[in-house]
Each structure stands twice: as C-alpha cells, then as structure tokens.
Amino acid sequence: MIAAAKLLVVGASLGGLDAIPVVLGALDAELDLAIAIVQHRSPDSNGQLARILSARSGREVAEALDAAPLSRGAVWLAPADYHLLVDGARVKLSLDASERHARPSIDALFASAATSWGPRLGAVLLTGSSDDGARGAAAVAKAGGATFVEDPARAEAPESPRAALERIEPTHVGDLASIGPQVTVWVKTARSRRTHG
C-alpha cells in the first residue's frame, strides 16, 4: 500500500448530503489524494449514506473499515456512531465518547489528521448547525495544512463555517462550486495560496 501524497478531510452536518457531492464531484479521481469524510448522522442510520454520496458525486465512497489505507483515490466515510480518525497512513475507528455531542466528530477527524499529515493535509468545512469542525480546522491551520471553508452566507446551515472563520484565516472561503477547484490547485502545488471567492 502506497499512501497518497496528500490527504483531504471533509466535515459537514446539516445540509452536507447536498454539499459534499458538489465538492467531491469537482475533484479529478486521478489526483494524488486520499479523502476522509465525517457527515453527522443518526447513530442508527444504515449504510445508505455512502451509496447516496457515491451516486451524487460520481466518486466511489465507502464506509471506512478500521485500519483502511489512505491510498491514492480512496474516499472513506465515517460509519454511523464511530469517530473516524487518522493514524499515519491509515484510518482508525473509535468508540470514544462523543465530542461536542457528535460521534462521528469533525473536530476529532481534523485534529488527528493534522498530527500525522501536517502541511500535506487539506481540510474542507462545509455547512453545519453546530461549531463542530472549528477547533479541528484551527488544528489543521496550526500544523501548516490548507483550510477550505464554505461561505457561511451561502451555506444551508452557517454555524459551522462561521465558527471556523472566527478562529482561522482560511486558505480559501467561498461557495460550494469554488471549493473543489481550489482543492485541486492545492493538491497540484507545493504551497497553498490564500483566495476569496
């Protein structure tokens, strides 16, 4: 197993079922990139979410298995009622307590990935009705990673992106259609640029 050159972590809550496919669908499957996703969901939800995201985005999305590799092209989704964490070049599932009333937690994914991937990490924070993700985005920025935040004024639920913008100056903030192309630029370049659109 050869790990991807860069890792993208994506977090969303209310409205994410529509938002995540827009971002994923704009990313070329040939990018040297692995993706890990947390979408807040009911603890007893079934496995339909991965299939829905796959169908809407045109990318193969699978529920993560413990120790699954972060290889090029992999798109892993946090299973219901498990934290999805990053441990080096693999993901890890955890039944640790909820964080800020959420399991899976966006903060937990982002912070764990920041530890392992540093400047090779990009984080996308989308629509959400809580501040989950804001602390994690700050951890990514502190580690030298790139941060991409949906414009709160255009998000279905503005609380998550707004909370992040109170903590960080993101690499890019804009509408959903702008995020995928900006991530592509980041993947293909050594250093991220600051943009607003």
The letter for the amino acid at 164 is A
Residue 105 bears catalytic tag? no
132 is catalytic: yes
Residue with tokens 């764990």: 112
Catalytic entry in 40, 105, 160, 172: 40
Instruction: Give the span between the Cα atoms of 111 and 140, in whole angstroms.
Output: 7
Choosing from 13, 57, 112, 192, which is the catalytic residue?
13
Residue 13 a catalytic site member:
yes
Closest CA to 86 of 50, 119, 110, 106: 110
DSSP, residue by residue, 104-135: S-HHHHHHHHHHHHGGGEEEEE---SSSTTHH
Catalytic residue among 112, 132, 160, 178: 132
Instruction: Give per-residue burial for 144-161: e unless 16+ CB within 10 Å, then b.
Output: ebbbbbbbbeebbbbbbb
With contact defined as beta carbons under 8 Å apart, do 106 and 137 qualify? Answer: no
Structural element, H or E, at residue 140: helix 134-142
Catalytic site positions: 13, 40, 132
